[in-house]
Amino acid sequence: MGGVWNIVPTPFLPDGDLDEPSLASLAEFVVATGVTGMTILGVLGEAAKLGDDERARVIHGILRATAGRLPVCVGVTHSATDRAVAYALEAERAGAHSVMLAPPALARPTDAALRRHYLAVCDAITIPVVVQDHPASSGVLMSAEFMAALADDAPQAGIVKLEEEPSPPKVRKLRELAPGVSIVGGLGAGMLLEELAAGADGTMTGFGFPEVLVAIVQRWSAGDTDGAARLFDRFATLIRFENQPFANLAIRKHVYQRRGAIAHSTVRQPAGTLAPITAEALDWLFRRLGLEGPQLQPGALLAELLPDTVTG
């Protein structure tokens, strides 16, 4: 489960209702960026703000629109094990490629309790389980040793989305402990190069220009680390800007709207709004990078980046 997996936002109408027509345009956009797969109902997808019926509409809307053209991973995180199991079963029955599961918030998290939670989900389904290691959102620390042992107990959970900062040292440690585990980074791709150097297989993250990450990872995988670094450096300011703490969701939705992936940049309340000065700064950054007009379309940018990536 390497390469680039684009974690996408959930589109809403201006009044906060689910924007189902935008699910289709979002799927078309992601397919056109050339990513390995897409992930829905993660933290970026505002999953905690959705009802069960809305979750089902998002899952079926995206799977219907992608129509098997790329694999879809579905976030199934819940603090109750039985609800996480129910979400996982729903995703598998709908046709998801895999599910993503963060550890539950516990008053006293222990390895034994976390292991029971993950194994219950693994036992209930047959598709892969991505272990999301993101303490900033879960409040739970999982050691590399725990995740390596979990993969031994349940090879189905041998995929780790590793986002404990600083991520590269933990990527290296997990790779040494469990050479067969698939490791993908995240965190807005801010440490992508370092994660790849530490042994990551790719990244699963939210970023409004996922085809940039595709080009970087393809060049790295081809052995052209200098070329990958040049591409990363070219877009590093955009990666940094998009991943601003407390504003990254609003910024990314604005980017997806600007690129035609979704009709509205609405963030479901309660949430802050995008400050006008932030939108102005983003426009300025787009101009500096030449990301205007046709270059905002995924096909055009991909055509520019991939020939250089493939041929060197």
pLDDT of 308: 54
pLDDT of 311: 39
Low-confidence ranges of the chain (pLDDT < 70): 308-312
Q: DSSP characters for 141-177? A: ---HHHHHHHHHH-GGG-EEEE-PSSHHHHHHHHHHH
User: Would residue 140 be called left, alpha or beta, if left means φ above 0 and alpha means ψ between -120 and 50 degrees?
Assistant: beta
* 97 in Cβ contact with 73 (< 8 Å): yes
Q: Hey, what long-range contacts does 276-282 have (CB within 8 A, 24 or more apart)?
A: 278/244, 278/247, 278/250, 278/251, 279/254, 281/241, 282/241, 282/251, 282/254, 282/255
Q: Is the pTM value of this prediction over 0.75?
A: yes
Q: 74-101, pLDDT tens digit by residue?
A: 999 999 999 999 999 999 999 999 999 9
pLDDT of 166: 96
* 98 in Cβ contact with 1 (< 8 Å): yes
**Could you tell me the CATH number of the domain that includes residue 134?**
3.20.20.70
Q: Which of 49, 161, 173, 253 is catalytic?
A: 161
User: Which of 137, 125, 146, 159 lies closest to 37, judged by CA?
Assistant: 159
Q: 47-65, pLDDT tens digit by residue?
A: 999 999 999 999 999 999 9
Domain that holds residue 306: 3-311
- Strands 72-75 and 98-101, by their bridges, are parallel
Q: What is the number of domains present in the chain?
A: 1
173 labelled catalytic: no
Q: Is the peptide bond before 14 cis (omega within 30 degrees of 0)?
A: no
